[in-house]
Chains A and B, each alone.
Chain A
């Protein structure tokens, strides 16, 4: 049947090649655009790869592949289902592979031999047709089908992004121990996601970051791993998961993967050490926040503490069951505070240096250094004005400070040094217990004589063995057990984990296509189609055979020669 000219064009190999050339040239252009810092990958997508005309080129390629593969597949099915007999002796004599075998027992034993080696073996009278390896002819159609699936997957993806049933390059930023219920996508697709280019979309559930950990190789800035522990809260459902660079977290079709992270000083965090009490060796360090469960690496346990102050209660649980609890131990270091500076009108200059903007007491602030065992751990500015009180937070160990008042003990020249001034500081524990109010001169040290919580440490039980003494020492564990205890190490930096959000229904389609694209060449290169014709000349008792092989493979030829030899030897016997 004659093909319509348009169908003939669309199904021609040359047309397909022209399309591939066009796609190559356009893709080169798109790549140059994506490397332009003013355009970027997002711009290149919107100007080239996601445009209607690029899609149209791909669509034409799909049509070309379908039509071309249809022809070949239909033909292959016809080959399989129909036999092609050759009856004339002349045919066999003309073939290079043509052979004659004398048969005295008739055709049937020879047919049995052929059936052992060929998939189909059809007989009509004295004519025989056998074939094998038809899958090899389907190699190209399989590849084409794979490409079609990949392109269809791409279309699904593209329309999903536009129509909103799929999500690409979404993002969530979650401070440790905090929860979010929505993610962000770009409003303008030609620009990257930023503070000025975003749109908020609800997740439909809550996502909490329990812990983020960046581990570097020792004595190196090279990161070994980035790990986020997250928890989904969906009604009564709680699902926990760990996200690394090699392992995203999936929930309800959403995929969360580790994109980046950022430090966050507002997050209250501390480091505790899990120590094997028998060997006295550290099991792991764990960063914790109050009331946030964290998985303990290399153990099946989850750790949670009610607070970060010394004496705060902690629990170890496994599968939701509390297996041990106790109070946070602190090192025996004594805390002290030193009033270091006082300024009357707090200002941070362009060089990040603090100074006084004027001699007026517009915004008084005092710098207090926090020390443990006379080693300065940190320093914070505390503000007299109530609206700035919350800025002097963190890293005062177990204490909260408040700048209550100030006074001059002598006449002082105007300026920032204020060395003759005194400041009134209120000190309380983070657990809420008030300690006292003190007037301190600039440079004076306030030492906390009562080490925290020694009397607050109570007995707890670890798995199988351990008892915690009130002085914070440990009794020796019994033999055969492996107890451990928890030691507070100090405050640490908090982080925001930045997770990419994706919801891509096209992934299975795309990967199925990729598998076919890989499978197709294997079929084409390793399975060889061959046909064998036979004709039994009854008068001569002679079987004529000839072989046709697609390609240059020698294996089918050798197999054919073995068959011929076997038939010949059988007759000799």
Chain B
């Protein structure tokens, strides 16, 4: 018996450790370097001076948004190198190095080859090196050879070649994207590079030239004493321009980039999970209080992250898959927290935190171009975006909860009811922590009672929006059809429960089927070829 208990504890600790590793690994963002990594240009003293000068907070216009140098750097590094930072270097330093030491980066073997089929195309020895330089790739002779060999290459290799060439082009044309000067002549238009000062006031032109000169001399000669003063002078002049982002906005954007509130969110949820688990195992009230307090803290951080995105994007944070998932988990934590406060059973908070943690860790692995704050495309530019997407996502949060409760019910159903919950030291069955089946069944119903009206309103608001944007309220678009199918399933559930007296396993299974329909509506229509198409395909 004792050996059994040890084994069980070790297994539990192992699972917790794995989760902890996933949390930290996702948080770090630093990926291992490929074999044969060449030395990147680096200078630690210069890197430190750049960080102290405030340059990482410099506003850079990129792809429709005012980023800061740090976020711009991560985006460009991902496009060039396939990762958002290099070798423990600050991305802001790396990108400035690419801009002001272009020849070094052109010659350095930094571009990952990736596809094994490319070795033949590039004329390299397989496994000799996993990296190639931009200079090698864009060499005229090499290009001719690549063109010749690519005639017989398979489509997958050609796609990989395109990606690699794009990386090289991005690196070479990087200075053209370094837009830090607001265009005084055209407030809505494209900004300018540091040396393109035509049409700007003499003060800005001078400050920009000075900053540029200091950066050149910093990278060429290592002289950094004037870096900070020139940066401050530059800011003082450009901040007078109407379209330059206000200081609070720049600061908020930088904070969001550097700190990433959602990373702290899931780390907090991890702690909440642990505290609730300990409470259920030991039945100590103080642990429950701590768990609820930390849950509240995590929820606040999560809310803060969403509010920051709202302020920076000037719209509801609901316009792409990443934002919709993060918002749905926020809804899950809100509903889970409320139900936990009402019923005070511990396992509600545990399940919400656990589910939320897993999903938030998964989305933390999304590539940076999926997680950045994007400008709102024309077709989504409507106040109905908020009403429709928010209500639909909140309904998904409720259905998520019902799914979790249904799973718990089925586990409990399969493993048998026990009379009391035993503390961890005596219990050998982890599912004994789960409450009674009647309670789970009731909570399942309550969650669907919350989700169904929200889904109904979500479908209605979507129809109103579609009527405005597309001229018809309903067009049997795959997304629309599947949302209706989901609505049908939950309507059937409610009728079976209220009017036919269904309880227990049957309703649990029905709720699981309903949530599968939610997943198809949410993800399947967008990503599965079998179900894709229609006007919702951008989400």
A interface with B by C-beta (< 8 Å): 13-14, 16-17, 20-21, 23-24, 27-28, 30-32, 34-35, 37, 40-41, 44-45, 49, 154, 168-169, 215-220, 222-226, 244-248, 255, 257, 259, 281-282, 500-502, 504, 507, 510-511, 514-515, 517-518, 521-522, 525
Residues on A with C-beta less than 8 A from B485 are 24, 27-28, 31
Q: Cβ of B340 < 8 Å from any Cβ of A?
A: no
Taking a contact as CB atoms closer than 8 A, the residue among A21, A40, A245, A500 that contacts B381 in the complex is A245
Residues on B with C-beta less than 8 A from A32 are 530-531
Nearest neighbor of B473 in chain A, beta-carbon distance? A510
Contact A219 B378 (CB under 8 A): no
Contact B379 A35 (CB under 8 A): no
Residues on B with C-beta less than 8 A from A27 are 481, 484-485, 488
Residues on B with C-beta less than 8 A from A507 are 467, 473
Contact B492 A21 (CB under 8 A): yes
CB distance from B459 to the nearest CB of A (A): 8
B interface with A by C-beta (< 8 Å): 61-65, 177, 179, 184-191, 374-375, 377-379, 381-384, 449, 452-453, 456-457, 460, 463-464, 467-478, 481-482, 484-485, 488-489, 491-492, 495-496, 499-500, 529-534
Q: How far is the CA of A222 from the CA of B380 in the complex (A)?
A: 12
Contact B453 A525 (CB under 8 A): yes
Q: A27-B488, A502-B472, A525-B449 are in contact. Are A218 and B61 (CB under 8 A)?
A: yes
Taking a contact as CB atoms closer than 8 A, the residue among A20, A219, A259 that contacts B61 in the complex is A219
Q: A24-B488, A245-B381, A507-B473 are in contact. Are A218 and B64 (CB under 8 A)?
A: yes
Contact B531 A35 (CB under 8 A): yes
Q: How far is the CA of A154 from the CA of B480 in the complex (A)?
A: 15
Q: A219-B61, A225-B381, A246-B382 are in contact. Are A17 and B492 (CB under 8 A)?
A: yes
Q: How far is the CA of A281 from the CA of B183 in the complex (A)?
A: 11
Nearest neighbor of B528 in chain A, beta-carbon distance? A35
CB distance from A54 to the nearest CB of B (A): 11
Q: A219-B64, A245-B379, A246-B382 are in contact. Are A154 and B474 (CB under 8 A)?
A: yes
Q: A31-B531, A514-B460, A518-B453 are in contact. Are A222 and B474 (CB under 8 A)?
A: no
Contact B378 A224 (CB under 8 A): yes
CB distance from B466 to the nearest CB of A (A): 10
Q: A20-B491, A218-B64, A521-B453 are in contact. Are A255 and B533 (CB under 8 A)?
A: no
Residues on A with C-beta less than 8 A from B378 are 223-226, 244-245
Residues on B with C-beta less than 8 A from A23 are 488
Contact B374 A222 (CB under 8 A): yes
Contact A245 B382 (CB under 8 A): yes
Q: How far is the CA of A509 from the CA of B302 in the complex (A)?
A: 41
CB distance from B122 to the nearest CB of A (A): 27
Taking a contact as CB atoms closer than 8 A, the residue among A41, A514, A515 that contacts B476 in the complex is A41
Taking a contact as CB atoms closer than 8 A, the residue among A220, A514, A521 that contacts B452 in the complex is A521
Nearest neighbor of A522 in chain B, beta-carbon distance? B453
Taking a contact as CB atoms closer than 8 A, the residue among A37, A40, A247, A518 that contacts B457 in the complex is A518
Residues on B with C-beta less than 8 A from A222 are 63-64, 374-375, 377
Q: How far is the CA of A208 from the CA of B532 in the complex (A)?
A: 36
Residues on B with C-beta less than 8 A from A49 are 476
Could you name 13 residue pairs across A and B whose Cβ atoms are closer than 8 Å? A17-B492, A27-B484, A30-B476, A41-B475, A217-B63, A218-B61, A219-B64, A244-B378, A245-B378, A245-B469, A257-B468, A510-B473, A518-B460
CB distance from B46 to the nearest CB of A (A): 28
Of B177, B471, B489, the most chain A CB neighbours within 10 A belong to: B471
Q: A14-B500, A219-B177, A246-B382 are in contact. Are A30 and B470 (CB under 8 A)?
A: no
Q: How far is the CA of A49 from the CA of B187 in the complex (A)?
A: 49
Q: How far is the CA of A169 from the CA of B179 in the complex (A)?
A: 43
Contact B531 A24 (CB under 8 A): no
Residues on A with C-beta less than 8 A from B177 are 219
Residues on A with C-beta less than 8 A from B472 are 168-169, 502, 504
Residues on A with C-beta less than 8 A from B457 are 518
Q: A223-B378, A246-B382 are in contact. Are A510 and B463 (CB under 8 A)?
A: yes
Question: When A and B form their complex, which 6 residue pairs have the shortest distance between CB atoms, in order from nearest?
Answer: A217-B64, A220-B64, A502-B471, A246-B382, A514-B460, A521-B453
Contact B500 A13 (CB under 8 A): yes
Q: A31-B531, A168-B472, A224-B381 known; 6 other A-B pairs, CB under 8 Å?
A: A23-B488, A32-B531, A223-B377, A246-B381, A504-B472, A511-B463
Q: How far is the CA of A219 from the CA of B63 in the complex (A)?
A: 5
Residues on B with C-beta less than 8 A from A511 are 463-464, 473
Of A40, A501, A510, the most chain B CB neighbours within 10 A belong to: A510
Nearest neighbor of A219 in chain B, beta-carbon distance? B190
Contact B476 A17 (CB under 8 A): no
Residues on A with C-beta less than 8 A from B190 are 218-219
Contact A30 B491 (CB under 8 A): no
Q: A20-B492, A257-B469, A507-B467 are in contact. Are A35 and B478 (CB under 8 A)?
A: yes
Residues on B with C-beta less than 8 A from A224 are 64, 375, 377-378, 381
CB distance from A282 to the nearest CB of B (A): 6
Of B64, B379, B496, the most chain A CB neighbours within 10 A belong to: B64
Q: How far is the CA of A13 from the CA of B476 in the complex (A)?
A: 27
Contact B460 A17 (CB under 8 A): no
Residues on A with C-beta less than 8 A from B476 are 30, 34, 41, 44-45, 49
CB distance from A281 to the nearest CB of B (A): 8
Contact A34 B534 (CB under 8 A): yes
